[in-house]
Protein backbone atom coordinates (compact mmCIF):
# COMPACT_ATOMS: atom_id res chain seq x y z
CA UNK A 1 0.00 0.00 0.00
CA UNK A 2 1.04 3.62 -0.44
CA UNK A 3 2.12 5.79 2.48
CA UNK A 4 3.80 9.12 3.11
CA UNK A 5 7.21 8.25 4.58
CA UNK A 6 9.42 10.85 6.23
CA UNK A 7 12.87 9.36 5.58
CA UNK A 8 14.78 12.09 7.42
CA UNK A 9 14.30 15.80 8.06
CA UNK A 10 13.11 17.60 4.92
CA UNK A 11 12.94 14.41 2.83
CA UNK A 12 9.51 12.84 2.41
CA UNK A 13 8.10 10.67 -0.35
CA UNK A 14 5.07 8.56 -1.19
CA UNK A 15 6.28 4.97 -1.15
CA UNK A 16 5.03 1.40 -0.85
CA UNK A 17 4.95 -0.17 2.61
CA UNK A 18 3.47 -3.45 3.90
CA UNK A 19 -0.24 -3.51 4.66
CA UNK A 20 -1.13 -3.74 8.37
CA UNK A 21 -2.10 -7.09 9.85
CA UNK A 22 -5.18 -6.73 12.02
CA UNK A 23 -4.85 -8.21 15.51
CA UNK A 24 -7.62 -9.38 17.82
CA UNK A 25 -9.34 -6.39 19.39
CA UNK A 26 -8.43 -4.16 16.46
CA UNK A 27 -10.33 -2.80 13.47
CA UNK A 28 -8.82 -2.43 10.02
CA UNK A 29 -9.48 1.07 8.76
CA UNK A 30 -9.46 2.52 5.28
CA UNK A 31 -7.93 5.96 5.80
CA UNK A 32 -9.96 8.69 4.07
CA UNK A 33 -8.49 12.00 5.30
CA UNK A 34 -5.53 12.93 7.49
CA UNK A 35 -4.86 16.40 8.89
CA UNK A 36 -1.39 17.82 9.47
CA UNK A 37 -0.48 19.74 12.62
CA UNK A 38 2.47 21.61 14.08
CA UNK A 39 4.10 18.43 15.39
CA UNK A 40 4.16 17.06 11.82
CA UNK A 41 5.82 20.25 10.63
CA UNK A 42 8.40 20.06 13.42
CA UNK A 43 9.09 16.43 12.52
CA UNK A 44 9.57 17.42 8.89
CA UNK A 45 11.97 20.19 9.92
CA UNK A 46 13.90 17.93 12.30
CA UNK A 47 12.81 19.94 15.35
CA UNK A 48 10.66 17.32 17.09
CA UNK A 49 12.85 15.66 19.74
CA UNK A 50 10.35 12.81 20.19
CA UNK A 51 10.29 11.58 16.58
CA UNK A 52 12.62 8.99 15.06
CA UNK A 53 13.19 8.32 11.37
CA UNK A 54 12.00 6.88 9.07
CA UNK A 55 8.45 7.61 10.15
CA UNK A 56 4.97 7.58 8.60
CA UNK A 57 3.31 10.81 9.75
CA UNK A 58 -0.31 11.50 10.61
CA UNK A 59 -2.57 11.33 13.66
CA UNK A 60 -5.62 13.46 12.74
CA UNK A 61 -7.77 10.81 11.11
CA UNK A 62 -11.05 10.26 9.31
CA UNK A 63 -11.44 6.61 8.30
CA UNK A 64 -13.94 3.89 7.47
CA UNK A 65 -14.05 0.49 9.18
CA UNK A 66 -13.16 -2.31 6.73
CA UNK A 67 -12.81 -5.28 9.11
CA UNK A 68 -13.81 -5.71 12.75
CA UNK A 69 -14.65 -8.65 15.01
CA UNK A 70 -18.22 -9.20 16.13
CA UNK A 71 -19.24 -7.92 19.55
CA UNK A 72 -18.07 -4.31 19.30
CA UNK A 73 -21.42 -2.60 18.70
CA UNK A 74 -22.16 0.09 17.75
CA UNK A 75 -18.96 -0.16 15.66
CA UNK A 76 -19.50 -2.00 12.38
CA UNK A 77 -18.03 -2.43 8.90
CA UNK A 78 -18.73 0.62 6.75
CA UNK A 79 -18.93 3.04 9.67
CA UNK A 80 -16.92 6.28 9.55
CA UNK A 81 -14.78 6.92 12.62
CA UNK A 82 -12.05 9.11 13.99
CA UNK A 83 -9.21 7.80 16.15
CA UNK A 84 -7.52 8.67 19.41
CA UNK A 85 -3.82 8.51 18.43
CA UNK A 86 -2.35 7.87 21.89
CA UNK A 87 -1.29 4.80 23.83
CA UNK A 88 -1.15 4.19 27.57
CA UNK A 89 0.74 1.75 29.75
CA UNK A 90 -1.96 1.41 32.49
CA UNK A 91 0.82 1.27 35.12
CA UNK A 92 2.40 4.73 35.46
CA UNK A 93 1.20 7.32 37.97
CA UNK A 94 -0.93 9.14 35.37
CA UNK A 95 -2.68 5.98 34.21
CA UNK A 96 -3.36 4.83 37.77
CA UNK A 97 -5.02 8.20 38.44
CA UNK A 98 -7.27 7.75 35.41
CA UNK A 99 -5.44 10.42 33.39
CA UNK A 100 -4.21 8.18 30.62
CA UNK A 101 -3.87 11.13 28.25
CA UNK A 102 -0.72 12.04 30.19
CA UNK A 103 0.75 8.53 30.26
CA UNK A 104 4.46 8.67 31.03
CA UNK A 105 5.14 6.17 28.25
CA UNK A 106 2.64 7.41 25.65
CA UNK A 107 3.44 6.74 22.00
CA UNK A 108 1.55 9.01 19.61
CA UNK A 109 0.77 7.97 16.06
CA UNK A 110 3.15 9.61 13.62
CA UNK A 111 5.67 10.48 16.33
CA UNK A 112 6.97 7.56 18.40
CA UNK A 113 5.22 5.03 16.11
CA UNK A 114 4.06 5.02 12.51
CA UNK A 115 1.01 7.12 11.81
CA UNK A 116 -2.00 7.11 9.52
CA UNK A 117 -0.80 8.71 6.30
CA UNK A 118 -1.23 5.40 4.55
CA UNK A 119 -4.03 3.62 2.73
CA UNK A 120 -4.87 1.41 5.73
CA UNK A 121 -4.18 1.26 9.45
CA UNK A 122 -5.23 -1.20 12.15
CA UNK A 123 -6.29 0.34 15.45
CA UNK A 124 -7.63 -0.93 18.81
CA UNK A 125 -11.40 -0.65 18.86
CA UNK A 126 -11.35 1.30 22.12
CA UNK A 127 -9.55 4.12 20.27
CA UNK A 128 -12.34 4.57 17.72
CA UNK A 129 -15.07 7.23 17.86
CA UNK A 130 -17.99 7.05 15.42
CA UNK A 131 -19.80 10.25 14.49
CA UNK A 132 -22.49 11.54 12.15
CA UNK A 133 -20.09 13.92 10.43
CA UNK A 134 -18.70 14.54 6.97
CA UNK A 135 -15.05 13.54 6.45
CA UNK A 136 -13.66 17.05 6.79
CA UNK A 137 -15.38 17.55 10.14
CA UNK A 138 -14.41 14.07 11.30
CA UNK A 139 -10.77 14.82 10.53
CA UNK A 140 -10.94 17.94 12.72
CA UNK A 141 -12.09 16.09 15.82
CA UNK A 142 -8.67 15.10 17.20
CA UNK A 143 -6.96 18.51 16.89
CA UNK A 144 -9.98 20.19 18.47
CA UNK A 145 -9.91 17.77 21.42
CA UNK A 146 -6.57 19.20 22.54
CA UNK A 147 -8.13 22.62 22.99
CA UNK A 148 -11.23 21.11 24.59
CA UNK A 149 -9.04 19.30 27.11
CA UNK A 150 -7.31 22.56 28.05
CA UNK A 151 -10.71 24.09 28.84
CA UNK A 152 -11.56 21.07 30.98
CA UNK A 153 -8.21 21.44 32.78
CA UNK A 154 -9.06 25.08 33.44
CA UNK A 155 -12.39 24.14 35.02
CA UNK A 156 -14.16 26.61 32.75
CA UNK A 157 -17.81 27.39 33.48
CA UNK A 158 -20.37 29.75 31.98
CA UNK A 159 -19.56 32.35 34.64
CA UNK A 160 -15.91 32.66 33.55
CA UNK A 161 -14.15 35.03 31.20
CA UNK A 162 -11.55 33.04 29.25
CA UNK A 163 -8.71 34.48 27.17
CA UNK A 164 -6.95 32.24 24.65
CA UNK A 165 -3.46 33.21 23.54
CA UNK A 166 -3.04 31.92 19.99
CA UNK A 167 -5.71 30.94 17.46
CA UNK A 168 -3.98 28.22 15.51
CA UNK A 169 -5.60 24.79 15.36
CA UNK A 170 -5.20 24.03 19.07
CA UNK A 171 -6.08 27.53 20.26
CA UNK A 172 -9.12 27.55 18.01
CA UNK A 173 -10.26 24.38 19.76
CA UNK A 174 -9.88 26.12 23.11
CA UNK A 175 -11.90 29.10 21.88
CA UNK A 176 -14.66 26.81 20.62
CA UNK A 177 -14.67 24.79 23.84
CA UNK A 178 -14.86 27.82 26.11
CA UNK A 179 -17.67 29.29 24.03
CA UNK A 180 -19.45 25.91 24.00
CA UNK A 181 -19.38 25.99 27.82
CA UNK A 182 -21.04 29.40 27.73
CA UNK A 183 -17.99 31.36 28.93
CA UNK A 184 -17.22 34.88 27.76
CA UNK A 185 -14.36 34.15 25.38
CA UNK A 186 -11.53 36.42 24.20
CA UNK A 187 -9.34 35.33 21.27
CA UNK A 188 -5.83 36.79 21.01
CA UNK A 189 -3.57 36.56 17.96
CA UNK A 190 -1.54 38.62 15.47
CA UNK A 191 -3.35 37.31 12.38
CA UNK A 192 -6.60 38.93 11.28
CA UNK A 193 -7.78 35.83 9.42
CA UNK A 194 -7.29 33.61 12.47
CA UNK A 195 -9.12 36.10 14.66
CA UNK A 196 -12.02 36.17 12.19
CA UNK A 197 -12.28 32.37 12.31
CA UNK A 198 -12.09 32.49 16.11
CA UNK A 199 -15.09 34.82 16.13
CA UNK A 200 -17.02 32.34 14.02
CA UNK A 201 -15.97 29.61 16.50
CA UNK A 202 -17.56 31.54 19.36
CA UNK A 203 -15.19 34.27 20.57
CA UNK A 204 -17.17 37.31 21.67
CA UNK A 205 -14.07 39.52 21.65
CA UNK A 206 -10.76 39.55 19.77
CA UNK A 207 -7.46 41.27 20.45
CA UNK A 208 -4.81 41.80 17.77
CA UNK A 209 -1.82 41.91 20.10
CA UNK A 210 0.50 43.66 17.63
CA UNK A 211 -1.90 46.55 17.07
CA UNK A 212 -3.43 46.68 20.55
CA UNK A 213 -1.88 46.84 23.99
CA UNK A 214 -2.70 43.40 25.44
CA UNK A 215 -2.83 44.54 29.06
CA UNK A 216 -5.03 47.55 28.40
CA UNK A 217 -7.40 45.59 26.16
CA UNK A 218 -7.83 42.77 28.69
CA UNK A 219 -8.36 45.22 31.54
CA UNK A 220 -11.05 47.02 29.54
CA UNK A 221 -12.85 43.79 28.64
CA UNK A 222 -12.81 42.45 32.21
CA UNK A 223 -13.63 45.53 34.24
CA UNK A 224 -10.03 45.86 35.45
CA UNK A 225 -9.83 42.35 36.95
CA UNK A 226 -8.23 40.31 34.19
CA UNK A 227 -9.58 37.04 32.74
CA UNK A 228 -10.57 34.26 35.13
CA UNK A 229 -8.77 31.74 32.92
CA UNK A 230 -5.96 32.23 30.41
CA UNK A 231 -5.06 29.40 28.04
CA UNK A 232 -1.64 29.64 26.41
CA UNK A 233 -1.57 27.94 22.98
CA UNK A 234 1.50 29.52 21.36
CA UNK A 235 4.58 28.41 23.26
CA UNK A 236 6.86 31.44 23.59
CA UNK A 237 8.49 32.87 26.74
CA UNK A 238 6.61 36.14 26.22
CA UNK A 239 3.19 34.47 26.12
CA UNK A 240 4.06 32.13 29.01
CA UNK A 241 4.80 35.21 31.12
CA UNK A 242 1.81 37.16 29.80
CA UNK A 243 -0.56 34.42 30.97
CA UNK A 244 0.61 34.79 34.57
CA UNK A 245 0.79 38.57 34.41
CA UNK A 246 -2.66 39.13 32.88
CA UNK A 247 -4.81 36.49 34.61
CA UNK A 248 -7.03 37.64 37.46
CA UNK A 249 -6.15 37.14 41.12
CA UNK A 250 -6.98 33.52 42.09
CA UNK A 251 -7.31 32.77 38.39
CA UNK A 252 -6.27 29.70 36.42
CA UNK A 253 -3.51 29.47 33.82
CA UNK A 254 -3.42 26.52 31.44
CA UNK A 255 -0.39 25.81 29.27
CA UNK A 256 -0.73 23.74 26.10
CA UNK A 257 2.27 24.95 24.13
CA UNK A 258 5.91 24.18 24.83
CA UNK A 259 8.24 27.17 25.09
CA UNK A 260 11.35 26.43 23.02
CA UNK A 261 13.66 27.96 25.62
CA UNK A 262 13.67 28.45 29.42
CA UNK A 263 11.16 30.97 30.74
CA UNK A 264 11.95 33.48 33.50
CA UNK A 265 9.05 34.44 35.77
CA UNK A 266 8.28 37.01 38.43
CA UNK A 267 7.45 34.29 40.96
CA UNK A 268 5.80 36.79 43.29
CA UNK A 269 2.73 36.66 41.03
CA UNK A 270 2.23 32.93 41.60
CA UNK A 271 1.91 33.49 45.33
CA UNK A 272 0.41 36.96 45.46
CA UNK A 273 -2.36 36.00 43.04
CA UNK A 274 -2.66 32.47 44.49
CA UNK A 275 -2.78 31.09 40.97
CA UNK A 276 -3.63 27.62 39.74
CA UNK A 277 -1.11 26.86 36.99
CA UNK A 278 -1.87 23.70 35.04
CA UNK A 279 -0.46 21.81 32.11
CA UNK A 280 -2.70 20.28 29.47
CA UNK A 281 -1.64 17.32 27.36
CA UNK A 282 -3.48 15.42 24.62
CA UNK A 283 -7.12 14.58 25.40
CA UNK A 284 -9.44 12.29 27.32
CA UNK A 285 -12.32 10.23 25.87
CA UNK A 286 -14.87 12.77 27.09
CA UNK A 287 -13.05 15.46 25.10
CA UNK A 288 -13.55 13.43 21.92
CA UNK A 289 -17.23 12.98 22.72
CA UNK A 290 -17.68 16.69 23.47
CA UNK A 291 -16.01 17.79 20.24
CA UNK A 292 -18.17 15.39 18.25
CA UNK A 293 -21.25 16.75 20.00
CA UNK A 294 -20.25 20.31 19.12
CA UNK A 295 -19.51 19.47 15.47
CA UNK A 296 -22.75 17.52 15.11
CA UNK A 297 -24.56 20.63 16.38
CA UNK A 298 -23.00 22.60 13.51
CA UNK A 299 -21.52 25.28 15.77
CA UNK A 300 -17.98 25.33 14.31
CA UNK A 301 -16.75 26.93 11.04
CA UNK A 302 -15.32 23.74 9.52
CA UNK A 303 -14.78 25.03 5.98
CA UNK A 304 -13.08 28.23 7.18
CA UNK A 305 -10.73 26.29 9.44
CA UNK A 306 -9.29 24.17 6.60
CA UNK A 307 -7.13 26.06 4.14
CA UNK A 308 -5.66 23.31 1.97
CA UNK A 309 -6.76 19.88 0.70
CA UNK A 310 -4.39 17.83 -1.46
CA UNK A 311 -4.15 14.18 -2.57
CA UNK A 312 -1.56 11.87 -1.04
CA UNK A 313 0.84 12.19 -3.98
CA UNK A 314 1.07 15.95 -3.36
CA UNK A 315 1.80 15.59 0.36
CA UNK A 316 5.64 15.86 0.01
CA UNK A 317 5.24 19.07 -1.97
CA UNK A 318 2.79 20.68 0.45
CA UNK A 319 5.01 19.77 3.42
CA UNK A 320 7.94 21.58 1.79
CA UNK A 321 5.77 24.60 0.98
CA UNK A 322 4.40 24.68 4.52
CA UNK A 323 7.92 24.53 5.95
CA UNK A 324 8.99 27.44 3.75
CA UNK A 325 5.91 29.53 4.56
CA UNK A 326 4.19 28.43 7.81
CA UNK A 327 2.01 31.53 7.94
CA UNK A 328 0.58 30.74 4.52
CA UNK A 329 -1.43 27.76 5.77
CA UNK A 330 -3.92 27.08 8.53
CA UNK A 331 -5.15 23.48 8.44
CA UNK A 332 -3.80 21.14 5.75
CA UNK A 333 -5.65 17.89 5.00
CA UNK A 334 -4.48 14.99 2.87
CA UNK A 335 -7.26 13.24 0.90
CA UNK A 336 -6.62 9.53 0.36
CA UNK A 337 -9.93 8.62 -1.27
CA UNK A 338 -8.41 8.24 -4.77
CA UNK A 339 -5.34 6.38 -3.48
CA UNK A 340 -6.64 3.03 -2.27
CA UNK A 341 -5.53 -0.01 -4.22
CA UNK A 342 -6.85 -2.82 -2.01
CA UNK A 343 -9.80 -4.84 -3.24
**What CATH number is associated with residue 220?**
3.40.50.720
Are 102 and 22 in a shared domain?
A: yes
| Same domain? 169 vs 208 | yes
Considering the domain architecture, whether residues 274 and 299 belong to the same structural domain is answered as no
User: What are the CA-CA distances from residue 54 to residues 2, 7, 115, 229, 311 (Å)?
Assistant: 15, 4, 11, 40, 21
Domain-located, residue 25: yes
311's enclosing H/E stretch is strand 306-311
**CB 64, CB 125: distance < 8 Å:** no
Q: Do 291 and 259 sit in the same domain of this protein?
A: no
Residue 246 domain-assigned?
yes
pLDDT at 342: 52
Q: What is the spatial distance between Cα 13 and Cα 314, in angstroms, rounded to a whole number?
A: 9
Looking at residue 35, its pLDDT comes to 97
341 found inside a domain: no
CATH number at residue 96: 3.90.180.10
- For the chain, the straight-line distance linking the first and the last C-alpha, in angstroms and rounded, comes to 11
Q: Are 123 and 213 part of one and the same domain?
A: no
Q: Are residues 18 and 136 in the same domain?
A: yes
138 and 6 in a single domain? The answer is yes
- 100 and 130 within one domain: yes
Q: Let me know if residue 169 belongs to a domain.
A: yes
Does any domain span residue 149?
no
* Pairing state between β 331-335 and 26-36: antiparallel
**Cβ atoms 83, 24 nearer than 8 A:** no
Q: What is the DSSP annotation of 100-156?
A: GGG-TT---BTTTB--S-BSEEEEEGGGEEE-S--HHHHHHHHHHHHHHHHHHHTT-
Domains identified in the chain, total number: 2
Calculate Rg over the CA atoms of the chain.
Answer: 20
Same domain? For 275 and 317 the reply is: no
Q: Are 257 and 193 in contact (CB under 8 A)?
A: no
Q: Please identify, among 252, 279, 306, the residue that sits at the C-terminal boundary of a domain.
A: 279
Does the residue 340 lie in any domain?
Answer: no
Clarify whether residues 201 and 292 are in a common domain: no
Tell me which of 279, 294, 311 is where a domain ends: 279
18 & 116 share domain: yes
DSSP conformation class of 313:
G
- Residue 315, CA distances (Å) to 146, 239, 333 in order: 24, 32, 9
Together in a domain, 84 and 205 = no
Name the DSSP letter for residue 71. S
Rounded Cα–Cα distance for residues 6 and 27 (Å): 25
Residue 243 falls inside a structural domain:
yes
Selection from 176, 184, 150, 191 nearest residue 301 by Cα: 176
Q: Which of 63, 75, 58, 149 is nearest to 110 (CA)?
A: 58
Render the burial of 85-97: b for 16+ CB within 10 Å, e for the rest: bbbbeeebebbee
Length of the chain: 343
Of 256, 279, 302, which one is at a domain's C-terminal end? 279
Report pTM: 0.94
In 166-248, which residue ranges form alpha helices assigned H by DSSP? 169-180, 192-200, 214-221, 237-246
Considering the domain boundaries, does residue 24 fall inside one?
yes
Residue 292 is inside which H or E element, if any? helix 285-296
Relative orientation angle of helices 169-180 and 192-200, to the nearest 10 degrees: 30
Would you call the peptide bond into 256 cis, given omega within 30 degrees of 0 as the criterion?
Answer: no
Q: What pairing do the DSSP bridges indicate for beta strands 229-232 and 161-165?
A: parallel
Q: Identify the pLDDT of residue 226.
A: 98
Range of the domain at 197: 155-279
Tens-level pLDDT at each residue, the chain (343 residues): 999 999 999 999 999 999 999 999 999 999 999 999 988 999 999 988 889 999 999 999 999 999 999 999 999 999 999 999 999 999 999 999 999 999 999 999 999 999 999 999 999 999 999 999 999 999 999 999 999 999 999 999 999 999 999 999 899 999 999 999 999 999 999 999 999 999 999 999 999 999 999 999 999 999 999 999 999 999 999 999 999 999 999 999 999 988 878 999 989 999 999 999 999 999 999 999 999 999 999 989 999 999 999 999 999 999 999 999 998 888 999 999 988 865 4
Amino acid sequence: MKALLLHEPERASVTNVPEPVRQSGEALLRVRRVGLCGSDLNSYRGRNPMVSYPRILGHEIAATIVEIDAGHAPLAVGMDVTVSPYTCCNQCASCLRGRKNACQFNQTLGVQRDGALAEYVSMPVDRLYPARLDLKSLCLVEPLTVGFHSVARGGVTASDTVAVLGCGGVGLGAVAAAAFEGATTIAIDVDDDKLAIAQRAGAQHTIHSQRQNLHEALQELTGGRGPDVIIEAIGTPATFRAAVEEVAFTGRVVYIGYAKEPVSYETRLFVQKELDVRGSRNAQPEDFRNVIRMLEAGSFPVDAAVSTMVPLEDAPRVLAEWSANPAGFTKIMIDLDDTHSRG
